[in-house]
Amino acid sequence: MITALRALIVDDEPLARHLIRDYLNKHKDIEIIGESENGLQAVQDINTFKPDLVFLDIQMPKLTGLEVLELTGRRSNIIFTTAYDSYALKAFDLHAVDYLLKPFSQSRFDEALSKARTLLGQRLPALDTLIQGDTPLQRILIPERDQVHVLPVESIDYIEAQDDYIAICANGRVYLKTQRLAEAEAQLDPKMFVRVHRSYLINITRLESIERKGRDGHAARLYGGKRVPISRSGYERISAVLR
């Protein structure tokens, strides 16, 4: 007896979900276990149901498809479905997963499904590259219990390394995220966020002044009064950005 593959459909458009459901009904080895109407619901459904296969739209309200993958850690058996072909070349160049550009036919859908069956259970490292992207982050996602905080990067004052976490200070609050400071630095715009110390990244738009500290030391004073130490190499970096 062949065990059915459990599939989750993620798309904010009802007609798109209906089309995928109709195409899947022709495949008796596929069981549709749910439909998610937005990115936040998709994160919950993926974590709860742990589907074998996910049909994932990229541009959705609340969270994008790539942000869904970031939050869930999902790196296998994803078939992207979207109307935005700007993502397509990147996806195909990486050979990460298959990619259905709307509107797609039953035959093209079947081809993608066949590829997914072949790759079933294989983790695809290229998805990490696709999720990280080539452009700086516009917002940072922070999962916390049953919710996800979405922080626009311009709201962040500074980011501090704390063991295996980073502490992100924004809007008068501190949010903890499991990530290395170097990884956060690589994802953010270097013209906006500067590594002033081995333990600190600061948003220079939140910089009020640079103060002397001791004979050769410096500290960054941020709006709101927070002082952040600046190392010698950090002083060179921030001076170069502020020129």
Do 115 and 149 lie in one domain? The reply is no
Number of continuous H segments (helices) and E segments (strands) in the chain: 8, 15
Same domain, 175 and 154: yes
What pLDDT does 155 receive?
Answer: 97
pLDDT at position 2, please?
Answer: 55
Put residue 172 in one of left, alpha, beta given phi > 0 → left and psi -120 to 50 → alpha: left
pTM for this one?
0.80
Burial of 4 (0-12, 13-18, 19+ CB in 10 A): middle
139, β-bridge pairs = 152
pLDDT tens for each residue of the chain, 243 residues long: 457 899 999 999 999 999 999 999 999 999 999 999 999 999 999 999 999 999 999 889 889 998 998 899 888 888 989 887 766 556 555 545 678 889 999 999 999 999 888 888 777 666 676 677 678 899 999 988 878 899 999 999 999 999 889 999 999 999 999 999 999 999 999 999 999 999 999 999 999 999 998 877 899 999 999 999 999 999 999 999 998
pLDDT of residue 125: 66
Residue after which a domain boundary falls, among 132, 167, 193: 132
CATH number for the domain spanning 18: value is 3.40.50.2300
Boundary of a domain, candidates 132, 160, 195 = 132
Are residues 59 and 109 located together in one domain of the fold? yes
Give exposure, 122-156, as e/b (b: 16+ Cβ within 10 Å).
eebeebeebbeeeeebebbbbeeeeebbebebebb
Residues 116 and 20 in one domain: yes
Tell whether 36 and 80 lie within a shared domain.
yes
Whether 183 and 117 map to the same domain: the answer is: no
Residue 190 neighbours by CB distance under 10 Å: 12
Number of independent structural domains in the chain:
2
75 and 148 together in one domain: no
Name the nearest CA neighbour of 153 among 221, 202, 219. 202
- The residue range of the domain holding 204 is 139-242
179 alpha carbon, distance to own chain's centre: 12
